Structure 1
Amino acid sequence: MIKKSFYIASLFLCSLSIKAQEKIGVAFIPMSFDEETVSKMEVKIIQETIINSFVASKRFTVVDRSNLESLEKEKKLQRTEAFMDSKESFKDGVSKGASFMVEGNILGIKHTNKKDKWNSNVTIQLKVLDVSTGEIITTESINSEPVAEAEDLKAIIKAHYHKDEMKAMEARETQLNQLKDNSDASFKVALERLSDNVKRFTGKNFPMRIEIVEWIGKGGKPQSAKDGNFKGPYKNFVIAAGSNLGINKGQLLEIVAKNMVSVGGKAIERQQKIGAAWVFSVDDGNFSSATIIEGEKNIKKAVTDKVTFGVLTK
């Protein structure tokens, strides 16, 4: 098996990255909004959409606001004299369970009617804070506009998807871009598009570090890098993450290398992306197969030069 240390391309990402099989505790606090332009029902639906998007990624243990309030009440209760000698004293679930807080702000909801056809767009701002320090880790505005796949990626998708999968993907894309007969229907579709974009946000800001367990040689034969006759890396490889960690067919991966650079007499760690890969098969809950779509020569050189490198989800 290939076992290497895995790193990310920036200190910011390093603070948020997680190893495969680990989950990050995230707590959500109520979204802020303009009461004159946004209804409480819309706020509730949008917040639930965002939370569900985090949950769907399977990278997080989610603690919502109502649970936080219950935890705080329980902690206050157990600080009273009656509980001082209890062996079942309450553990600090907030600090232990949530490493990050997510604040949301609804910037706008727009419903457009043209020739009796409706289109809706939702724009939000998400802010991630470190629970222990209160430091703002990242903030980003996200809207519900559809994001088209790059043309080169579409070619790769076509090469690996079956006809039925292509039809289902194209049908969903059409459905998400189609104008609707009323504002309720268009708002529902906008929320689905928003969910997709929030998942992109979580993938970018909470990447997972994953091990490559083997390269897939010619004829689909797996080959370990420890084999004496190993001539890889090959174009395809297997990673130690599957459906249990939210890996999906079509997911993008970054391949990142690490090396040490001397600057002013000091050794500084430099991380850089050397390639990209695309998951073409989720084998089971623990393993998936991917193919290199960018930087194949760089990756081969990294193996030859024994450079430390690894895989990150996007």
Structure 2
Amino acid sequence: MIKKSFYLASLFLCSLHLKAQEKISVAFIPMSFDEGVVSKMEVKIIQETIINSFVSSKRFTVVDRNNLESLEKEKKLQRTEAFMDSKESFKDGISKGASYLIEGNILGIKHTSKKDKWNSNVTIQLKVLDVSTGEIVTTESINSEPVGEAEDLKSIIKTHYSKDELKAQENRNQLINQPKDNSDASFKVALDRLTDNVKLFTGKNFPMRIEIVEWIGKGGKSLSAQKSGGNFKGPFKDFVIAAGSNLGINKGQLLDIVSRNTVNVGGKTIDRQQKIGTAWVFSVDDGNFSSATVIDGEKNIKKAVADKVTFGVLTK
């Protein structure tokens, strides 16, 4: 995937103003594509794959999902000269109840064969528009190339995964990375990888702000986050967050640990969030709670606690 600058991501993050455990309402505009390159059936499958990626993340409410064709006709109609001066817009119709519009463009589908084995790759572009302003918040090209685990996560995974979980992960990696016997099978696997990468896109661009409930000290002793100052010296390693499977939190998910404060700029009060560490979810306890471990920034977190700085986590 093409990565955007940290500056753009920060602007987008500030624009969302997400509160803990709130779902975001989005609407999808039918995908654009080159009819000479992509079949209508492929378009439909890819479009449904992207929508399902948003839905399965459990952090979105999707509106107008069953009216894509009629909405596309309405969009084309309102681009005509007769509607240029109208106070009502296509955006008003499609986005009723939605905070963001998601536009998609299929850039290409590639099937390659080598020694009777097939590989497929799908490349799309997703564009996010703010309904209230009509502005493009972010745009990104996403392909179906596999994204492996970072090196610093491998030891954490081995520590917290059972043998069965490690084996299941290895089997899935082989399934989605190995060439297939025909193009249909390789296309299906490419869609599975595309789903993973779209979820990375949603995690980065639609983060959820989640509260830390408690820290887990030595010997499993717990301490509420509100009382973690004073004589408590840590280690600030394992903690519990107020989000679980109901909000799509998954074992192995990365979290940004961020400090929060307000600054005055030009007479305006602006919320400022600064990343001070990274954590990794090692257990989804139930629908409402999960446990995570710090993999980077423990010293920064300890200092933030000592300084009584307000902080929490953002999903990625």
Matched with 1:113 is: 113
CA contact under 8 A between 2:21 and 2:208: conserved in structure 1? Answer: no
Compared with structure 1, are the counterparts of its residues 199 and 27 closer, same or farther at alpha carbon in structure 2 (3 Å cutoff)? same
Matched with 1:138 is: 138
What is the distance in 1 between the residues matched to 2:315 and 2:301? 17
Matched with 1:218 is: 218
Please give the secondary structure, in 2, of the residue aligned with 1:258.
Answer: strand
Matched with 2:172 is: 172
Gapped runs of 5+ residues in structure 1? 1-8, 72-91
CA RMSD of the aligned region, Å?
2.4
Q: CA deviation at 1:64?
A: 3.7
- Tell me which moved more, 176-185 or 266-275: 266-275
Q: Deviations over 1:94-144 (max 9, x none)?
A: 555211110000000000001100000000000001112211011000000
Gapped runs of 5+ residues in structure 2? 1-8, 72-91
Compared with structure 1, are the counterparts of its residues 262 and 211 closer, same or farther at alpha carbon in structure 2 (3 Å cutoff)? closer
- Match among 236, 240, 243 for residue 241 of structure 1: 243
Compared with structure 1, are the counterparts of its residues 114 and 165 closer, same or farther at alpha carbon in structure 2 (3 Å cutoff)? same
What is the distance in 1 between the residues matched to 2:313 and 2:20? 11
Please give the secondary structure, in 1, of the residue aligned with 2:249.
Answer: coil
Q: Are residues 1:148 and 2:148 paired?
A: yes
CA contact under 8 A between 1:61 and 1:97: conserved in structure 2? Answer: no
Q: CA deviation at 1:276?
A: 0.3
What is the distance in 2 between the residues matched to 1:119 and 1:223? 51
TM-score by length of 1: 0.85
CA contact under 8 A between 1:256 and 1:310: conserved in structure 2? Answer: yes
CA contact under 8 A between 1:57 and 1:246: conserved in structure 2? Answer: yes
CA contact under 8 A between 1:28 and 1:101: conserved in structure 2? Answer: yes
Q: CA deviation at 1:231?
A: 3.1
What is the distance in 2 between the residues matched to 1:126 and 1:264? 34
Q: Superposed, which structure 2 residues align to 1:37-48 within 5 Å? A: 37-48=37-48
What is the distance in 2 between the residues matched to 1:244 and 1:178? 32
What is the distance in 1 between the residues matched to 2:162 and 2:10? 37
Q: CA deviation at 1:205?
A: 0.2
CA contact under 8 A between 2:30 and 2:68: conserved in structure 1? Answer: no
Q: Deviations over 1:39-80 (max 9, x none)?
A: 000000000000000001000001245347889xxxxxxxxx
What is the distance in 2 between the residues matched to 1:244 and 1:27? 21
Could you tell me which amino acid in structure 1 is paired with residue 292 of structure 2? Answer: A
What is the distance in 1 between the residues matched to 2:263 and 2:18? 25
What is the distance in 2 between the residues matched to 1:129 and 1:264? 27
Q: Deviations over 1:244-301 (max 9, x none)?
A: 0000000000011235668899987643211000000000000000000000000000
Please give the secondary structure, in 1, of the residue aligned with 2:54.
Answer: helix
Matched with 1:74 is: none
Q: Which has the higher contact order (CA 8 A, sep 6+)?
A: 1
Q: CA deviation at 1:38?
A: 0.3
Could you tell me which amino acid in structure 1 is paired with residue 309 of structure 2? Answer: V
Q: Deviations over 1:148-180 (max 9, x none)?
A: 111111111111000000000011001111000
Would you identify which runs of 4 or more consecutive aligned residues in structure 1 move more than 6 Å? Answer: 68-71, 261-268
What is the distance in 2 between the residues matched to 1:312 and 1:262? 23
What is the distance in 2 between the residues matched to 1:94 and 1:265? 37
What is the distance in 1 between the residues matched to 2:120 and 2:292? 36
Could you tell me which amino acid in structure 2 is paired with residue 61 of structure 1? Answer: T
Could you tell me which amino acid in structure 1 is paired with residue 239 of structure 2? Answer: F
CA contact under 8 A between 1:278 and 1:293: conserved in structure 2? Answer: yes
Please give the secondary structure, in 1, of the residue aligned with 2:192.
Answer: helix
Please give the secondary structure, in 2, of the residue aligned with 1:31.
Answer: strand
Please give the secondary structure, in 1, of the residue aligned with 2:156.
Answer: helix
What is the distance in 1 between the residues matched to 2:291 and 2:204? 21
What is the distance in 1 between the residues matched to 2:266 and 2:25? 39
Matched with 1:10 is: 10
Matched with 1:191 is: 191
CA contact under 8 A between 1:29 and 1:64: conserved in structure 2? Answer: no
Could you tell me which amino acid in structure 1 is paired with residue 227 of structure 2? Answer: K
Q: Count residues in correspondence.
A: 287
Could you tell me which amino acid in structure 2 is paired with residue 240 of structure 1? Answer: A
Please give the secondary structure, in 1, of the residue aligned with 2:189.
Answer: helix
